[in-house]
Amino acid sequence: MSDSQKYNRVAIALHWLLALALLGQLFLGFWMEGVPKEPPGVRAGWFNIHKSIGLILALLIVLRVIWRLMHTPPALPALPAWQKTAANWSHRLLYTCMVLMPLSGFLGSSFTPYPIKFFGTPLPRLWEASADLKELFGAVHTTTGFVMAALVALHIAAAVLHAVRRDGVVQRMSLMGSADVQQG
Ligand code: HEM
Ligand code: HEM
């Protein structure tokens, strides 16, 4: 595969770093909901780890979105039109979820009466607590979490199908081989 048919190194590195981290963060988010409230502190400890990791992911996601906006992705190989449309829209939706998840998580947590602790360090309070706004952003976080999990499942299923067909789609995001640094 020629260099210009691949995503560039930064796009590939960010994709795989975030893919692993986001799968872990989605799993942690759903799992921690089942951690019992007794003994006190254990559940809160997992929530704090989730929030701290989420804030680091927010930074990586901002970098990824900026990088993506600055670079045009390589053209897709010859595929049926509906597959190209499905790929475009699912990628757009994945980016939307990637932005909404940390944003809604942060905003929901910022309206509780407790400070957000970043690996133990309390962050300054930005505004007054509000039960209604905590509820609203919490609902956005939960709903987007389910939508994102479904999209990721679809995305992985599509990647596996393309890998089986060897149609050149998966190689574009492969960690192996050289990558073009000019194109996104
Ligand atoms: C990319 C980043 C993130 C992902 C993929 C993610 C994912 C999830 C998922 C799947 C859940 C379980 C569903 C739910 O009950 O809401 C959850 C819960 C939660 N997340 Fe996140 N999250 C992210 C970032 C954050 C951030 C940055 C914060 C806060 C600073 C946060 C705070 C919370 C809280 C407090 C809950 C529990 C919600 C509740 O019990 O009402 N999350 N997260
Ligand atoms: C949370 C997990 C993941 C997220 C959020 C995610 C998100 C994305 C996004 C947004 C793109 C489009 C890139 C762009 O045009 O800028 C993409 C491309 C791609 N992803 Fe993922 N991904 C995830 C996991 C995976 C996994 C596990 C695989 C493989 C099994 C995979 C395989 C691919 C491939 C092959 C492409 C290139 C598609 C193309 O040629 O346009 N992704 N991913």
Residue 155 Cα, ligand 2 centroid: separation in angstroms? 7
Q: How far apart are CA 166 and CA 163, in angstroms?
A: 5
Question: What is the DSSP code (8-state) at residue 65?
Answer: H
Q: Any idea which residue has 């607590």 for tokens?
A: 129
- Whether the Cβ atoms of residue 9 and residue 181 lie closer than 8 Å to each other: yes
Q: What is the number of the ligand closest to the CA of 28?
A: 1
Q: How far apart are CA 103 and CA 14, in angstroms?
A: 19
Residue 182, pLDDT above cutoff 60: no
Residue 3: per-residue pLDDT: 57
- Whether the Cβ atoms of residue 170 and residue 78 lie closer than 8 Å to each other: no
Output the residue whose Cα is nearest ligand 1's atom 18.
29
Over residues 105-122, mean pLDDT: 97
pLDDT in tens, 131-178: 999 999 999 999 999 999 999 999 999 999 999 999 999 999 999 875
Q: How far apart are CA 156 and CA 6, in angstroms?
A: 18
pLDDT in tens, 43-69: 999 999 999 999 999 999 999 999 999
CATH number of the domain located at residue range(s) 3-173 in this protein: 1.20.950
Residue 5: per-residue pLDDT: 83
pLDDT in tens, 81-101: 999 999 999 999 999 999 999
Q: How far apart are CA 57 and CA 77, in angstroms?
A: 31
